[in-house]
Amino acid sequence: MTTRVGVIDYGGGNLRNVLNVLKYLGHEGSLVSGPDDFAGIDRLVFPGVGAFGDCAGELDRRGLREPIVEWIRADRPYFGICLGYQVLFERSSECPEVKGLGVFEGEVVQFPLDRGLKVPHMGWNRVEPVDPDFPIWEGAPDPLYLYFVHSFYPRPSDDRIIASTTEYGDAFASSIASGNTFAGQFHPERSQEAGLRLMGNFLSR
């Protein structure tokens, strides 16, 4: 069944890549640039590349903050990618004065710069599902490697929402899941067959 998928447009992000993936998987994608664009969509994807503060500010300017929060709190299907994962939390050390969406308690922190890690964390890395039977992981390769590009990552206050972890210096929460909300620090649209599998699972849930 074809579903209409809204893709959050805040003036940045891998919009074209995500729209192409949706088309490849047989689903219609449309940009959500303002509150009126939520009408008629079945699922919401928030792809993100850029700075936390710029993103949150643009969501406010476009009137997107409240509709996104209402969508998630109504437990409608949401897939957050990279910055679309980070912005779900209350705050980020990248821009301490800027409020995130605050859907989940926690903060976004930077990888330590004094431990010999290359920052940003860039490239393929292993993703360890907390519950391999969770529907988003169905049919995914084991071991599962996905593509990352980021210097910051969320630190959820509630460990129960962590859906996967990834090692980079220490283990960090590379994705979360709560109801029909799933969000990850990795880029499924850049992760070849494994990423397509995750996106396809989200679209068919």
**Model's pTM, two decimal places?**
0.96
Catalytic residue status for 189: yes
Look at residue 12 in the predicted model and tell me its pLDDT: 80
Note if 193 is an active site residue.
no
Taking a C-beta distance cutoff of 8 angstroms, is the pair 185, 168 a contact? no
Q: What is the C-alpha to C-alpha distance for residues 73 and 45, in angstroms, rounded to an integer? A: 15
Closest CA to 82 of 154, 139, 28, 19: 154
Distance CA 106, CA 157 (A): 5
Amino acid, res. 47? P
Residue 1 has pLDDT above 70, yes or no: no
For the segment(s) 4-204, the CATH number from 3.30.505.10, 2.60.120.580, 1.10.3300.10, 3.40.50.880 is 3.40.50.880
Average pLDDT, the chain: 96
Angle value at C-alpha 79, between 137 and 39, nearest 5 degrees: 135
d(CA 118, CA 132): 29
* pLDDT tens profile 46-105: 998 889 999 999 999 999 999 999 999 999 999 999 999 999 999 999 999 999 999 999
Q: Residue 19 in contact with residue 7, Cβ under 8 Å?
A: yes
In the set 82, 95, 121, 150, the catalytic residue is 82
* pLDDT tens for each residue of 152-181: 999 999 999 999 999 999 999 999 999 999
**Which of these is catalytic: 55, 95, 121, 189?**
189
Reference 56, options 15, 99, 97; nearest CA is 99
- The CA distances from residue 75 to 50, 68, 79, 95, 99, in Å, are 26, 11, 12, 28, 22
Where exactly are the structural domains of the chain? Answer: 4-204
What tokens were used for 158? 């509630």
**Would you say residue 203 has pLDDT above 70?**
yes
Q: At what angle do helices 15-24 and 192-204 cross, to 10 degrees?
A: 70
